[in-house]
Amino acid sequence: MASAAALLLQLQLLLLLSLSAAQPGFISLDCGGADDYTDGIGIQWTSDAKLVFGGQATNLPVQNQLQKQYSTLRYFPADNSKYCYTMNVRTRTRYLVRASFLYRNFDNSNVYPKFDLSLGATPWSTVIIDDADTPVVEEAIILAAAPTLSVCLSNASTGQPFISTLELRQFNGSLYYTDYEAQFFLALSARINFGADGNKSVRYCIHLIEYGNPTL
């Protein structure tokens, strides 16, 4: 029985490594980070330095090493320019795009930033910070119409535009297909974990370990 449990754990760990390292279109950018690394749940984070022009990186205090990606951010001038991350994608393929913003009063101004987020030239969302210690997360599902996809920050009405993380997840097959996906993208309205006994986030590897196939 013990050997079977050990084998199950080894197979699950191999599955986690393949999910985070081998899946095409699986990009996780640590904005402002200087080095690439793998976090405590197996996600490979990459420095954003080669994917954006301009901006300044800064460090933030972080208590939980599972949230190392929030220990840095990149901020941009509050001017009339648009600052974009451009990533290679597969044309006619759907992607989840996730951007997160943790302020932590990085500029020592105590002025909560408000700025626009866009997918290329298409408006996506207005990022409004109202709590310095709670990350704002924006998500969209888009059908890539070109070999590159740009996520842009601009038009700060207060504070400075900034970003903590930027993630890209490729979908396969017809998942999230819509009749109008060539003209529109899907923006996240809400995500509800029905039956949960708390507000703790659920990540993919924890789910696999807790609910792996017991007959394997």
**pLDDT at residue number 177:** 67
pTM of the model: 0.79
- List the one residue out of 135, 89, 132 whose CA is nearest residue 110: 132
Domain assignment of residue 27, yes or no: yes
Q: Do the Cβ atoms of 126 and 116 come closer than 8 Å?
A: yes
Cα 168 to Cα 44: distance, rounded to the nearest angstrom: 12
Domain assignment of residue 215, yes or no: no
Domain assignment of residue 8, yes or no: yes
Domain assignment of residue 200, yes or no: yes
Any idea which of 72-86, 121-135, 186-200 has the lowest mean pLDDT? Answer: 186-200
* Strand order through the sheet with 94-101: 37-38, 44-47, 27-30, 165-170, 94-101, 136-143, 186-187
User: pLDDT tens, 133-183?
Assistant: 999 999 999 998 999 999 999 999 999 999 999 999 998 877 776 766 666
CATH of the domain at 54: 2.60.120.260
Residue 184, domain extent: 2-210
User: Could you identify the residue written with the tokens 């409004």?
Assistant: 128
**What average pLDDT does the structure give for the chain?**
81
In the predicted model, is pLDDT for residue 209 greater than 50?
A: no
Count Cβ atoms within 10 A of the Cβ of residue 52 and give its class: 0-12 exposed, 13-18 middle, 19 or more buried: buried
Domain assignment of residue 67, yes or no: yes
Q: Is 210 left (phi over 0), alpha (psi -120 to 50) or beta?
A: alpha
